[in-house]
């Protein structure tokens, strides 16, 4: 895949916004670091597939990860070329795929702008929202301590969130290498797409590690994790019922409410090594 930046300036991911600060019953001039939010259009072989509001950072990872989690490609090498084109209206990610891959998205093209991080906005049919995800037949095992260690490592790598306190993060952790990659975005789906692109563009499979999330775990995030082949997803927040059902169906170990030394396992606990005490009400 060849990358090329064209057009105007890409805006910074964080800007300083002036504000009035009310403290101790007094107002004073102040400023706060806030994340930028930009319309980003994905076009494949000249046709717009989707428009998302996202943080303008890690755009090549975003393009590759989005194409992979949408099921348009299997690996980044299938993107023959990629152009990043900035304008006053937003940023266009122009990707070119082999002709047989370009036809894959014709039946489910999304061309409507959606709110930040909405994974299903603009989808033209209800069937698309429930499209099947692959089964993750992976025998990886993780110690309970690994869950705690992985989630504890995530905050220090959330650079944009330390500045703004308003962005989501997705990370990838392995027992051998620790926290390998972290991507951030105002949209939780966007952060995971960027992580997907970063991992696969880097040539390292997510098959033997943990995908870490700072958001709730909804069905769209499980769909994306399954397409990555990730055996386990760990999140700070709770999952939705639909997310739990899909994780169970896809063979993904879903760990949530992972805070401090505690966490809850909702599906496929066999991947987490350790004895389970059964409480009887």
Inter-residue contact 235 to 256 (CB < 8 Å): yes
**Confidence tier at 273 by pLDDT (50, 70, 90):** confident
Calculate ∠ Cα 49-182-226, nearest 5°: 55
Q: What is the pTM of this model?
A: 0.83
**Any idea which of 80-94, 126-140, 231-245 has the lowest mean pLDDT?**
126-140
Q: Is the pLDDT of residue 119 over 70?
A: no
> For tokens 């702008």, what's the residue?
113
**Confidence tier at 76 by pLDDT (50, 70, 90):** confident
Candidates 3.20.20.30, 3.30.565.10, 3.40.50.1110, 3.10.20.10; CATH matching 2-11+36-129: 3.10.20.10
**Confidence tier at 276 by pLDDT (50, 70, 90):** low
Q: What is the pLDDT of residue 188?
A: 94
Q: How much of the chain, in percent, has pLDDT values that exceed 90?
A: 54
Domain boundaries, the chain: 2-11+36-129, 144-271
Q: What does CATH list as the number for 144-271?
A: 3.40.140.10
88-115 pLDDT per residue, tens = 889 999 999 988 776 666 655 544 344 4
- Residue in 19, 118, 121, 234 annotated catalytic: 118
Q: What is the pLDDT of residue 277?
A: 55
Inter-residue contact 190 to 117 (CB < 8 Å): yes
Active site residue 118: yes
**Cα gap 102→269, rounded to integer Å:** 39
186-216 pLDDT per residue, tens = 999 999 999 999 988 888 778 889 999 999 8
3-62 pLDDT per residue, tens = 566 668 899 999 998 886 777 877 788 888 989 989 999 999 888 888 888 999 999 999
**Cα gap 226→158, rounded to integer Å:** 24
Three-state secondary-structure class, residue 182: strand
Dihedral angle sign, alpha carbons of residues 248, 249, 252, 257: negative
Looking only at the bridges linking them, the beta strands covering 262-267 and 210-213 are unpaired
- H helices within the chain, ranges in order? 59-69, 99-102, 126-129, 144-153, 159-164, 188-201, 219-228, 241-250
The whole-number average pLDDT for the span 133-152 is 92
Inter-residue contact 15 to 34 (CB < 8 Å): yes
Cβ count near 248 (within 10 Å) = 15
Three-state secondary-structure class, residue 176: coil
Instruction: Please classify residue 49 by burial: count the beta carbons closer than 10 Å to its beta carbon, then call 0-12 exposed, 13-18 middle and 19+ buried.
Output: buried
């Amino acid at each position: 895949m060849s990358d090329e930046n064209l057009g105007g300036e890409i805006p910074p991911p964080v800007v300083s916004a002036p504000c009035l600060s009310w403290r101790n019953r007094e107002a004073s001039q102040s400023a706060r670091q806030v994340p930028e939010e930009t319309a980003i259009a994905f076009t494949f072989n000249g046709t717009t597939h989707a428009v998302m509001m996202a943080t303008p950072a890690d755009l090549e990872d975003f393009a590759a990860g989005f194409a992979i989690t949408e099921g348009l490609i299997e690996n980044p090498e299938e993107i023959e070329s990629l152009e990043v084109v900035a304008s006053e209206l937003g940023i266009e990610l122009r990707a070119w795929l082999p002709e047989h891959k370009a036809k894959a998205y014709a039946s489910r093209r999304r061309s409507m702008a959606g709110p930040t991080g909405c994974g299903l906005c603009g989808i033209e049919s209800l069937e698309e929202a429930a499209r099947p995800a692959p089964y993750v037949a992976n025998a990886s095992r993780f110690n309970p301590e690994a869950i705690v260690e992985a989630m504890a490592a995530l905050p220090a790598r959330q650079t944009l969130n330390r500045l703004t306190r308003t962005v989501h993060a997705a990370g990838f952790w392995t027992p051998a290498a620790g926290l390998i990659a972290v991507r951030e975005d105002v949209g939780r789906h966007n952060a995971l797409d960027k992580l997907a692109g970063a991992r696969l563009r880097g040539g390292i499979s997510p098959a033997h590690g943990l995908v870490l999330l700072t958001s709730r775990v909804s069905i769209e995030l499980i769909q994306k994790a399954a397409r990555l082949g990730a055996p386990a997803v760990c999140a700070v927040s709770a999952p939705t019922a639909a997310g739990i059902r899909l994780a169970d169906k896809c063979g993904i170990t879903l760990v949530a409410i992972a805070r401090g030394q505690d966490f809850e396992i909702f599906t496929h606990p066999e991947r987490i090594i350790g004895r389970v005490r059964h409480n009887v009400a």
